[in-house]
Amino acid sequence: MRRRKELTEDELRINKKKISDEEAYEAFFKDCYLRNLRPATIEYYKYEFHGAKKIINKGNENFRERY
């Protein structure tokens, strides 16, 4: 599939939806399974997402303490 520089109407509709982080996480990994990615790749993504989530949450806590 070739990359495009523009989003389709369907992609724009999805982009405007308000979903939680957990819903986005689940949708991403469902897509990974549907695309038949290797289990090791999916585990790597899960590990990296978990680490990023910790950093983001820690940053939010620091922000709240300051303000």
The per-residue pLDDT for range 7-22, each reduced to its tens digit, is: 788 777 777 778 888 8
At 41 the pLDDT is 96
Query: The whole model's pTM is what?
Result: 0.60
At 62 the pLDDT is 64
Q: What is the DSSP letter of 19?
A: -
What are the E-state strand segments in 1-67?
none
- Alpha-carbon distance of 67 to 64, in angstroms, equals 5
Residues of the chain with pLDDT below 50 are: none
**Residue 19 vs residues 6, 27, 42, 43: alpha-carbon distances, Å:** 22, 10, 22, 23
